[in-house]
Structure 1
Amino acid sequence: MNSIKEYLEDVRKEMKKVSWPDQQELIDYTIVVVVFTILLSAFIFAVDQVYSIVLESIY
């Protein structure tokens, strides 16, 4: 039980050392991730469509 308490105290100490982003940084990073995800999804969709068309023409 003592080791669990020590672990949680260490976690609390380390969490205080973390450099947390402010609200504007968080918003900016979230926008970047969402835009990149949408672009990557569109690219994968386009490649899938091209492969589908090519395979349909072969068969």
Structure 2
Amino acid sequence: MFDRIKEFFSGVRYELKKVNWPSWDELKSSTTVVLVFSIFVTLFIAIVDLGVGTLVRKLIDWM
């Protein structure tokens, strides 16, 4: 059983050595893009939610 675990982690280590890791500049750039996009989507959803909530409230008050 321990041989299989050892073999598994040996394979994992071998595969991780083959990975093409991003440079520090690429990592910072990608992180910035993800954060800016996440903030944009969050603001968009908040504005749409606010608008739909206001519309529903006005519709309920009208009825």
Which bin holds the TM-score, normalised by the shorter protein?
over 0.9
* TM-score between the two structures when normalised by the length of structure 2: 0.92
Gaps of 5+ in 2: none
Which is greater in Rg? 2
Does 1:13 pair with 2:14?
yes
In the alignment, the residues of structure 2 paired with residue 45 and residue 51 of structure 1 have an alpha-carbon distance, to the nearest angstrom, of 10
Q: Kindly state the Cα deviation for residue 47 of structure 1 after the two structures are TM-superposed.
A: 0.5
Letter in 1 for 2:12: V
Moved over 6 A (4+): none
2:25 matched to which residue of 1?
A: 24
1:50 matched to which residue of 2?
A: 51
* TM-score between the two structures when normalised by the length of structure 1: 0.98
Q: For the aligned residues, what is the CA RMSD?
A: 0.4
2:3 matched to which residue of 1?
A: 2
Q: Kindly state the Cα deviation for residue 58 of structure 1 after the two structures are TM-superposed.
A: 0.7
> When the two structures are aligned, how many residues end up with a matched partner?
59
Q: Kindly state the Cα deviation for residue 56 of structure 1 after the two structures are TM-superposed.
A: 0.8
Gaps of 5+ in 1: none
